[in-house]
Amino acid sequence: MLIRLIYTLILSLASPLLLYGLYKSKPGKPSFGKRWKEHFGITPQTQGQSPIWIHAVSVGESIAAIPIIKQLKQRDPNQAIIVTTTTSTGAEQIERLGDLVEHRYMPIDFSWCVQGFLKAVQPKQMLIMETELWPNTLHCVAKAGIPISVLNARLSERSCQRYAKFQSVFNLLAKNLSQVLCQYHSDAERFVRLGLDSTSVHVTGSIKFDIEVSSEQVEKGKALRERVGFDRDVWIAASTHQGEDEIILDAHKQLLKDNPKALLMIVPRHPERFSQVTELAKQQEFNTITRTSQQPITPDVEVYIADTMGEMLLLLGGVDVCFMGGSLVGDKVGGHNLLEPAALKLPLLNGPSYFNFSEITEKLLEARAVTICHNSSEIAGQLKELFLQPKLRKDKGLAAYQVVEQNRGALDNTLQHIIG
């Protein structure tokens, strides 16, 4: 009780800054509009009875939740589902599901906010995507007799050691959890090491391996490639972060010396960086266009900035090679998920920092489907080799795809634990 009281006091002091960051207007970021009240527990009542509540904090978690949502609705079309996100970009992903779910913004982690939400929604269970744990939320939900499951849970060794330094805080969180469904045995071992009852910790695999690429997405990818031209070599730098774009552009400059028809697509991770990356490419004298400009991708275009959200699979469907961002910035990010390009049979390049996706990346490394590059010269060298050898490109792409296929099944495993 004392620990939670101290935490609430700290949250009260920090909340103005947190809310400022959440509501601050940024280019490409959807507005919360009048729905800002939902963050304070003032939320519309649900239309269905006893919904399942799924919380997915932002874009990545929302995308991971979509297959679960679709399977839950397929198995019981009458089951109401409420999905909460904290961010408006996460909300944008969920709202594409249309009538399958209702969306709400997650209440701030004050007890009175959470209680207001629970009173309006009255969920029968709470499903949390990927270890998004808030002390007051967990306390209020558990106190209301609502079971809480953590899905697709990850716990890195670094996070485990941090929790261990504040064991009493972790105990405060853990006592409210009904079950934790982990991606890997290493994650489960760390949760048990921190004191969770082993009977409540299960290994279900990573839901991300159960990725489905729709025929519509495939066709849109083909249409994009037709706009680019099949006679060009095209690579994508996906989910790039501050400090990586300069490296990527330098690699492309080196590539163009030997392959003047090559095209680079850059997909910045955060919408507020769209214009910044566009200007950077233009400053370096690349012939650059943006996706939203809807300009034709003429043969002289060298850099194409994908300044849209939620179109990654479409964009990947229009390229030959994928470099995954978030992996060239040291310990700041720890990489991103390589499974989307792997599912599309793309050969993969990655930076040396991938601790947040170590298990996935290591499986791909074992299959020789991904190559680690430390700098722009290594990226350019790998691109030159892949573009000169179509068979090598095809073999690496097929190896990546086989890793995805061999590790499917987490979705069914997860549903077995949460339906009952």
Which three-class secondary structure state does DSSP give residue 417? helix
Specify whether the CB–CB gap between 35 and 312 falls below 8 A. no
One DSSP character per residue, 115-174 reads HHHHHHH--SEEEEESS---HHHHHHHHHTT--EEEEEE---HHHHHHHHHTHHHHHHHH
Residue with tokens 């790998």: 382
Beta bridge partners of 324: 238, 350
Structure-token pair, residue 264: 């680079």
Specify whether the CB–CB gap between 306 and 289 falls below 8 A. no
The DSSP call for residue 99 is G
The DSSP call for residue 149 is E
CA distance 13 to 11: 5
Annotated catalytic residue within 61, 102, 302, 340: 61
CA distance 179 to 192: 12
Active site residue 362: no
| ∠ Cα 362 369 229 (to 5°) | 140
Which three-class secondary structure state does DSSP give residue 268? strand
What residues are labeled active site?
61
